[in-house]
């Protein structure tokens, strides 16, 4: 009789331990489902950006001079981290493919494409980093804008952007164009500081 009682107590204890463990795992899984993130692809309406600023090359003593214009046209695809910041009511991370045109007042230009990653800092304010690959063309030689020859180059754009409303976005930008000592091409080298204005078409 005592052995049966001990066996029953042991079985009850094991069952209690099993269900307690399952309840704990369920609670953990439920919490993870609340905080899990996944990248989703969205179709977006038109978005375009223009950045106007001053340019310089890296020659010692050469200061920033007017002017440079950079245009970014966003393809209608956006990868977003499907995790919403409840305070900002916006996604924490967005990625876009961008077509770019970059030119100076001398007519020299670079054309290409890049990937922009936007990180939410505070409501309506994003930090953006865009890395692109561009082809440089020299229309006017022996200028001070950093374009020296035809060939590929990396196009970096770093910015802070603020949404004025759902359609208008203002930004402060730093742009750097160089071959990165990777391409066997002319050493096109240029820095730009500029102000940007972006327009988002309504859904």
* Three-state secondary-structure class, residue 21: helix
Residues 107-116 pLDDT 10s: 999 999 999 9
Supply the DSSP string of 60-110, one letter for each residue: TTPPPEEEEEEEEEEEEEEEEES-EETTTTEESEEEEEEEEEEEETTS-EE
The listed CATH number (3.40.50.970, 3.40.50.300, 2.40.160.20, 1.10.10.10) that belongs to domain 39-200: 2.40.160.20
186 half-sphere exposure, CB direction, 13 A CA radius: 14
Domain coordinates in residue numbering, the chain: 1-36, 39-200
For range 52-70, the mean pLDDT? 88
Tell me the whole-structure pTM to 2 decimals: 0.77
Sign of torsion over alpha carbons 124, 127, 132, 134:
positive
Q: Where are the beta strands (DSSP E) in the chain?
A: 39-43, 47-56, 65-81, 84-85, 90-91, 93-104, 109-122, 125-137, 151-163, 168-178, 190-200
> Between these two residues, 81 and 45, which has the higher pLDDT value?
45
pLDDT single digits (tens) 21-40: 445 444 444 444 455 557 78
Q: Is the pLDDT of residue 96 over 90?
A: yes
């Amino acid at each position: 009789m005592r052995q049966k009682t001990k066996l029953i107590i042991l079985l009850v204890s094991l069952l209690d331990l099993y269900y307690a463990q399952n309840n704990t795992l369920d609670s953990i899984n439920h919490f993870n489902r609340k905080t899990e993130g996944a990248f989703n692809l969205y179709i977006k309406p038109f978005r375009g950006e223009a950045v106007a600023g001053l340019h310089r090359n890296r020659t010692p003593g050469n200061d920033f001079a007017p002017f440079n214009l950079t245009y970014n046209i966003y393809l209608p695809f956006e990868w977003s981290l499907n995790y919403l910041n409840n305070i900002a009511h916006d996604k924490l991370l967005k990625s876009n493919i961008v077509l770019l045109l970059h030119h100076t007042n001398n007519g020299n230009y670079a054309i290409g494409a890049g990937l922009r990653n936007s990180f939410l800092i505070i409501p309506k304010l994003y930090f953006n980093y865009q890395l692109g690959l561009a082809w440089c063309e020299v229309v006017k030689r022996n200028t001070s804008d950093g374009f020296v020859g035809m060939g590929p180059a990396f196009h970096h754009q770093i910015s802070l952007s603020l949404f004025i409303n759902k359609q208008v976005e203002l930004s402060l930008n730093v742009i750097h164009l160089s071959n990165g000592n990777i391409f066997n091409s002319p050493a096109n080298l240029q820095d730009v500081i500029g102000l940007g204005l972006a327009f988002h078409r309504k859904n």
